[in-house]
Amino acid sequence: VAGRKHLDESVLGTGIPFLGHGQHARFLKELHQISQRVAGVRRFGAASLDLAYVAAGRMDGFWERDLKPWDMAAGLLMIQEAGGKVTDMDGGEDMLTKGSICTANLELHPLMLDKLKAAG
Protein backbone atom coordinates (compact mmCIF):
# COMPACT_ATOMS: atom_id res chain seq x y z
CA VAL A 1 0.00 0.00 0.00
CA ALA A 2 1.03 3.63 -0.38
CA GLY A 3 2.94 5.31 2.43
CA ARG A 4 1.28 8.72 2.61
CA LYS A 5 0.32 9.83 6.10
CA HIS A 6 -1.78 12.94 5.49
CA LEU A 7 -5.15 13.22 3.76
CA ASP A 8 -4.22 16.46 2.01
CA GLU A 9 -1.59 14.66 -0.07
CA SER A 10 -3.72 11.59 -0.80
CA VAL A 11 -5.71 10.45 -3.82
CA LEU A 12 -8.73 8.32 -2.93
CA GLY A 13 -11.12 6.27 -4.99
CA THR A 14 -14.83 5.70 -4.61
CA GLY A 15 -17.84 4.43 -6.47
CA ILE A 16 -20.78 6.66 -7.30
CA PRO A 17 -24.28 5.21 -6.88
CA PHE A 18 -26.03 4.84 -10.19
CA LEU A 19 -29.65 5.54 -11.09
CA GLY A 20 -32.08 3.54 -9.02
CA HIS A 21 -29.43 2.09 -6.69
CA GLY A 22 -27.62 3.34 -3.64
CA GLN A 23 -28.07 6.30 -1.40
CA HIS A 24 -27.23 9.37 -3.49
CA ALA A 25 -27.72 11.95 -0.72
CA ARG A 26 -25.52 10.00 1.68
CA PHE A 27 -22.83 9.62 -0.98
CA LEU A 28 -22.82 13.36 -1.68
CA LYS A 29 -22.35 14.10 2.04
CA GLU A 30 -19.45 11.63 2.19
CA LEU A 31 -17.90 13.09 -0.95
CA HIS A 32 -18.21 16.58 0.50
CA GLN A 33 -16.46 15.53 3.72
CA ILE A 34 -13.63 13.79 1.86
CA SER A 35 -13.08 15.96 -1.22
CA GLN A 36 -12.33 19.09 0.82
CA ARG A 37 -9.46 17.33 2.56
CA VAL A 38 -7.67 15.28 -0.10
CA ALA A 39 -5.58 15.97 -3.20
CA GLY A 40 -8.14 14.20 -5.36
CA VAL A 41 -10.97 11.68 -5.65
CA ARG A 42 -11.19 9.25 -8.56
CA ARG A 43 -13.89 6.93 -9.91
CA PHE A 44 -12.79 4.11 -12.18
CA GLY A 45 -16.07 2.19 -12.17
CA ALA A 46 -14.99 -1.19 -10.80
CA ALA A 47 -14.46 -1.69 -7.07
CA SER A 48 -12.24 -4.69 -7.76
CA LEU A 49 -9.85 -2.51 -9.80
CA ASP A 50 -9.91 0.26 -7.18
CA LEU A 51 -9.02 -2.21 -4.43
CA ALA A 52 -6.18 -3.66 -6.51
CA TYR A 53 -4.87 -0.12 -7.02
CA VAL A 54 -4.91 0.48 -3.25
CA ALA A 55 -3.04 -2.79 -2.66
CA ALA A 56 -0.45 -1.81 -5.30
CA GLY A 57 0.00 1.69 -3.83
CA ARG A 58 -1.37 3.43 -6.94
CA MET A 59 -4.22 4.92 -4.93
CA ASP A 60 -4.06 5.85 -1.25
CA GLY A 61 -7.51 4.68 -0.18
CA PHE A 62 -11.00 3.71 -1.26
CA TRP A 63 -14.54 3.72 0.09
CA GLU A 64 -17.88 2.59 -1.27
CA ARG A 65 -21.29 1.32 -0.17
CA ASP A 66 -23.78 -1.11 -1.69
CA LEU A 67 -21.21 -3.57 -3.03
CA LYS A 68 -21.57 -7.31 -3.48
CA PRO A 69 -19.13 -9.75 -1.83
CA TRP A 70 -17.61 -10.64 -5.19
CA ASP A 71 -16.77 -6.95 -5.72
CA MET A 72 -14.63 -6.93 -2.57
CA ALA A 73 -13.36 -10.39 -1.63
CA ALA A 74 -10.16 -10.61 -3.67
CA GLY A 75 -9.33 -6.93 -3.21
CA LEU A 76 -9.65 -6.91 0.55
CA LEU A 77 -7.34 -9.92 0.77
CA MET A 78 -4.76 -8.19 -1.47
CA ILE A 79 -4.88 -5.04 0.67
CA GLN A 80 -4.52 -6.96 3.92
CA GLU A 81 -1.56 -8.90 2.48
CA ALA A 82 0.01 -5.60 1.34
CA GLY A 83 -0.21 -4.22 4.91
CA GLY A 84 -3.32 -2.07 4.55
CA LYS A 85 -6.39 -1.74 6.73
CA VAL A 86 -9.83 -2.82 5.51
CA THR A 87 -13.10 -2.34 7.40
CA ASP A 88 -16.76 -1.77 6.74
CA MET A 89 -17.96 1.83 6.96
CA ASP A 90 -18.65 1.38 10.68
CA GLY A 91 -15.04 0.37 11.35
CA GLY A 92 -15.93 -3.30 11.79
CA GLU A 93 -14.97 -6.43 9.92
CA ASP A 94 -18.33 -7.18 8.30
CA MET A 95 -17.59 -5.85 4.81
CA LEU A 96 -18.96 -8.81 2.88
CA THR A 97 -22.30 -8.83 4.71
CA LYS A 98 -22.81 -5.07 5.02
CA GLY A 99 -21.62 -4.35 1.48
CA SER A 100 -19.55 -1.35 2.48
CA ILE A 101 -15.80 -0.89 2.55
CA CYS A 102 -13.24 1.66 3.71
CA THR A 103 -9.58 0.93 3.09
CA ALA A 104 -6.20 2.65 3.18
CA ASN A 105 -2.86 2.29 4.92
CA LEU A 106 -2.75 2.17 8.72
CA GLU A 107 -2.24 5.95 9.05
CA LEU A 108 -4.89 7.15 6.59
CA HIS A 109 -7.63 4.64 7.38
CA PRO A 110 -8.74 6.16 10.71
CA LEU A 111 -8.64 9.66 9.19
CA MET A 112 -10.85 8.57 6.30
CA LEU A 113 -13.24 6.71 8.57
CA ASP A 114 -13.63 9.78 10.84
CA LYS A 115 -14.52 12.00 7.88
CA LEU A 116 -16.95 9.46 6.45
CA LYS A 117 -18.66 9.00 9.82
CA ALA A 118 -18.96 12.79 10.15
CA ALA A 119 -21.04 12.75 6.97
CA GLY A 120 -23.72 10.95 8.94
pLDDT tens-digit map of 49-97: 999 999 999 999 999 999 999 999 999 999 999 999 999 999 999 999 9
Q: Look at residue 83 and tell me if it is in a domain.
A: no
Asked if residue 32 has pLDDT above 70, the reply is yes
* Residue 50: predicted pLDDT: 97
Q: Look at residue 39 and tell me if it is in a domain.
A: yes
Cα–Cα distance for residue pair 118/112, rounded to 1 Å = 10
* Residue 22: predicted pLDDT: 66
Q: How many domains in the chain?
A: 1
Domain that holds residue 21: 1-44
Q: Look at residue 19 and tell me if it is in a domain.
A: yes
